[in-house]
Amino acid sequence: MDVSAKPKLDDVARVAGVSTATVSRCLNEPAKVTSKTRERVLSAVEALGYTPNFGGRALASRKTHTVGAVIPTMENAIFARGLQAFQEALAEAGVNLLVASSGYDAEREAAQIRALVGRGADGILLIGTARPEKTRAFLKRFATPCVIAWSIGGPGDVYVGFDNVAAARAIAERVIAFGHRRIAMISGITAMNDRAAGRIAGVRAALSEAGLSPEGLVVEEVRYAFDEAGVALHRLMAAPEPPTAIICGNDVLGVGAIVAARRRGLTVPCDLSITGFDDIDIAALVEPGLTTVHVPHRRMGLAAAKALLDLIEGQPQDRHVSIETSIIERGSLGPAPRSSSIGR
């Protein structure tokens, strides 16, 4: 026997002295096989170091026990915690996870979805709702089970998310309550990102409600990166009437802004208040701690996994899961300074 060749089902069958069907059953539905033959087969499997070939199995059974997730980016920790929980819950159910990233690009997202479907993903996790009709149509056409996370989806969608508008509005209200009137935003890029857009809308809504002009809100759109936040902060503070509070679209931007403010000689929150969104690890590590919106990413990831698995099984379920967020006060948000001459 050629030891270097991968053993196949046939080989196992021959060694165990049974048919291929029996070996297959032994591996997939052990109950349908006598304990005696099962033993023989399993020891043959062990002896040969047999590992079933995924392609063959997928082809024959039309099941891959694999789901895919297309996330915008792996570059920072935004999606890490939620995805980790998602993966853990899937693993529990014996399902594998394939992760792909789109770079916030609609074409790439579509391509990745196609690839995942081609790989036979039994279901797919997508982030947010912003995608072209074409992509939606593709998903619908092949009836691919699909769960949307991180956002509240439409009535036709299955989603496990949170209300970005309401959460942003809540933290903006908090900022306003601290007496801030000149408020600016450092946001993620809103193209193909409904979360970023929703958070801006939420802040505008809070301003409007407080009798402040929502159009007056200066928004810097940048990539989610520490240094980009710094550049944006410098631009904002160079204005003739710089803001006294900056609401950041997420914690990467928030932490970047805090660091940049400090390097600019500003004291947070005395001179300038800064808030974030997500409550990832580093929000608690910077000095001062970042006041932010806590998103229970793990809970969301677990719920998303459950929803997707149920959907694949065709079981009845909650098609709409809304996750509550909360505000964590850490110190980067404080009262508006009396004099507003800073930065002039």
Partner DNA sequence: AAATGAAATGTAAGCGCTTACAAAAAATCC
Partner DNA sequence: GGATTTTTTGTAAGCGCTTACATTTCATTT
The residue ranges that bind a second copy (CB under 8 A) are: 3-4, 6, 49, 51-59, 64, 74-77, 80, 83-84, 87, 96, 98-99, 114-115, 117-120, 138, 141-143, 226, 255-256, 259, 262, 281-282, 284-287
27 touches, from a second copy, DNA, none (C-beta below 5 to 8 Å by class): DNA
Nearest to DNA of 57, 298 (CB atom): 57
Helix (H, G, I), strand (E, B) or coil at 290: coil
Site string for DNA, 3-22 (x = CB under 7 A): ---x-xxx------xxxxxx
The number of residues in the chain equals: 344
How far, in Å, CA of 114 to CA of 120, rounded?
Answer: 10
How far, in Å, CA of 237 to CA of 286, rounded?
Answer: 21
Edge-to-edge strand list for the sheet holding 183-187: 218-221, 183-187, 245-248, 273-275
How far, in Å, CA of 101 to CA of 105, rounded?
Answer: 9
Site string for DNA, 53-72 (x = CB under 7 A): x-xxx-xxxxx---------
CB of 23 to DNA, least distance (A): 7
How far, in Å, CA of 186 to CA of 223, rounded?
Answer: 10
CB of 255 to a second copy, least distance (A): 6
Residue 169, token pair as written in the block: 């509005």
262 touches, from DNA, a second copy, none (C-beta below 5 to 8 Å by class): a second copy
Give φ, ψ of 215 to 5 degrees: -75, -25
Per the CB < 8 A criterion, the answer to whether 342 and 272 are in contact is yes
CB of 26 to DNA, least distance (A): 8
CB of 27 to a second copy, least distance (A): 11
- Residue ranges in contact with DNA by CB under 7 A: 6, 8-10, 17-25, 27-28, 32-34, 36-37, 50, 52-53, 55-57, 59-63
